[in-house]
Structure 1
Amino acid sequence: MPEASKMKKPDVKLVLLGDMNVGKTSLLHRYTERKFKDTISTVGGAFFLKQWGPYNISIWDTAGREQFHGLGSMYCRGAAAVILTYDVTNWQSLCELEERFLSLTDTANHDCIYAIVGNKVDLTDPKAQLCQDSDVASEDRTECEEERTEPQVPPACPTPPASPASLSGVTVQKQVTPEDAAALYVRILRYKGLEEKNSLPAEKMCFETSAKTGYNVDNLFEALFDLVLPSILRKRNENQESPTVDLEECRGGGNKKAKSGCC
């Protein structure tokens, strides 16, 4: 088989987890295809192989439906990073991350990185509405992906707002704040038995994105790619220290030795 036609082997795996309709598939399409797509619910799971410099990163998109819930732990097995995704206009979608999806990450790597991502921020934040798809010049996209204020971690999750604002306007009420996401991140660290002071800070691991306009999507994936680089290098070093054995060469060498010693 020609070398070019061989399937590239992933160096590391990222997994998207979250309830249905939070926009996991749309985020992946936005990053990989540079455009927004109206998608149907994912069945089971799907993955995309991304070239990041000399490395190959597989990004797994998983189904949020209850009937596919059991597959999540299988897709998370050996993951170097997990993107826990919620809808900023839906408080319940944040709760589901902790109640249904966090336990699925038990099969991920012991040093797995966790990102908390609030999608659909274009519905609540005029700044996120300004970013448009890949036709916009890169410098314009950089301007609209300004850094947001670092959230302060509250001691516990506040009570969710009553209901979304009027849907007749351009924007709807945000039900999940950056502070809520940061508090969840801290609880994830505790669930994993990790000390907050020795872990990546919440302000670096909580993102707000819009798959529709492209707001902050590149920042999300590229920040995670940089963070999993040590895991890639460690894995490659382990493979070099434990090389595979060529059985054909061993058989040939063994036969030659046996033949020369029989006389």
Structure 2
Amino acid sequence: MPEVSKMKKPDVKIVLLGDMNVGKTSLLHRYMERKFKETVSTVGGAFFLKQWGPYNISIWDTAGREQFHGLGSMYCRGAAAVILTYDVTNWQSLAELEERFLSLTDTANHDCIYALVGNKADLTDSKAQLCQDSDGLVKDRTECNEECEVPSGCPTPPASPTSLPGVMLRKQVINEDAVTLYGRILRYKGLEEKSSLPAEKMCFETSAKTGYNVDTLFETLFDLVLPSILRKRQENQQSPTVDLEECRMVGSKKGRSGCC
């Protein structure tokens, strides 16, 4: 395990918010580990560190359960981007974003970017059932399912049923619903739609199971938060921080070399 002093410091933070069972953890595993995992419910929060060019981006996964709700604002503190995630087959999961989770983003950066993501698109859209590998190549879903991992123990039951091959479920949340909510998010934040990122660029539909649109989601956000990273680095150069560990070492050397 690397020493704390040698661990990479993140340049910026991205946070996933949303109700339980919408697939936040599975989205993160799909992007970071290139495979699908049926996961148990997240307790508290967890994060991955992603190197994007010369920059380090921390991606935080948060618990959707009610008992961990209060932790959300802590994880959102200083966030440069928030991914508000819902299940396209569950209308209530979209409503919960506005009712329970939007207020948690009050601790995010004033210029925070918001993305609305409808996961489990493979249950309602045939094109989302096609798997995508790390090179963006499309392959058959049967082949993709061989890569899926199911951990030992009982995973949390999904909020929506599993789709049978060739049988699509009814889609409860259409793209227009997400676009409308995005507009309300901007108004809640006191932002003007004309000067903000357009809804068609910030509303996504994904499938953690097949990888559909997952790379597009994260990499779009990485590009959009680059100005925040550059501004933060410039501020740090203008107001350099003091390395306390280094100061202690220097002080210790001076103490040993001094006269009695």
Aligned-pair RMSD on alpha carbons? 2.5
Measured after TM superposition, the shift of residue 166 of structure 1 is 11
Percent of aligned positions with the same letter in both sequences?
84
Contact in 2 for aligned 1:125/1:171 (Cα 8 Å): yes
Contact in 1 for aligned 2:82/2:114 (Cα 8 Å): yes
> Which amino acid is 2:112 matched to?
C
Select the residue among 234, 238, 258 that pairs with 1:237: 234
Measured after TM superposition, the shift of residue 4 of structure 1 is 10
- Alignment of structure 1 residues 116-155 onto 2, 5 Å: 116-134=116-134, 138-140=136-138
- Asked if residue 99 in structure 1 is aligned to residue 96 in structure 2, the reply is no
Measured after TM superposition, the shift of residue 173 of structure 1 is 0.4
Q: 1:201 to 1:74 in 2, by over 3 A?
A: same
Q: 1:193 to 1:241 in 2, by over 3 A?
A: same
The equivalent of 1:150 in structure 2 is: none
The equivalent of 1:115 in structure 2 is: 115
Q: 1:202 to 1:25 in 2, by over 3 A?
A: same
Distance in 1, matches of 2:132 and 2:243, equals: 53
Distance in 1, matches of 2:4 and 2:177, equals: 47
> Which amino acid is 2:136 matched to?
S
Distance in 2, matches of 1:244 and 1:46, equals: 27
Contact in 1 for aligned 2:43/2:63 (Cα 8 Å): yes
**TM-score in terms of structure 2 length:** 0.81
The equivalent of 1:204 in structure 2 is: 201
Q: 1:209 to 1:237 in 2, by over 3 A?
A: same
**Bigger Cα Rg:** 1
The equivalent of 2:145 in structure 1 is: none
Hey, which bits of structure 1, 4+ residues long, moved more than 6 A? 2-5, 164-169
> Which amino acid is 1:191 matched to?
Y
Measured after TM superposition, the shift of residue 176 of structure 1 is 0.2
> Which amino acid is 2:81 matched to?
A
SS in 2 for 1:211: coil
Distance in 2, matches of 1:76 and 1:246, equals: 26
- Alignment of structure 1 residues 205-220 onto 2, 5 Å: 205-220=202-217
Gaps of 5+ in 1: 142-163, 256-263
Contact in 1 for aligned 2:132/2:138 (Cα 8 Å): no
Contact in 1 for aligned 2:80/2:111 (Cα 8 Å): yes
How many residue pairs get aligned? The number is 227
Distance in 2, matches of 1:102 and 1:123, equals: 26
Distance in 1, matches of 2:169 and 2:107, equals: 37
Distance in 1, matches of 2:172 and 2:131, equals: 22
- Alignment of structure 1 residues 75-94 onto 2, 5 Å: 75-94=75-94
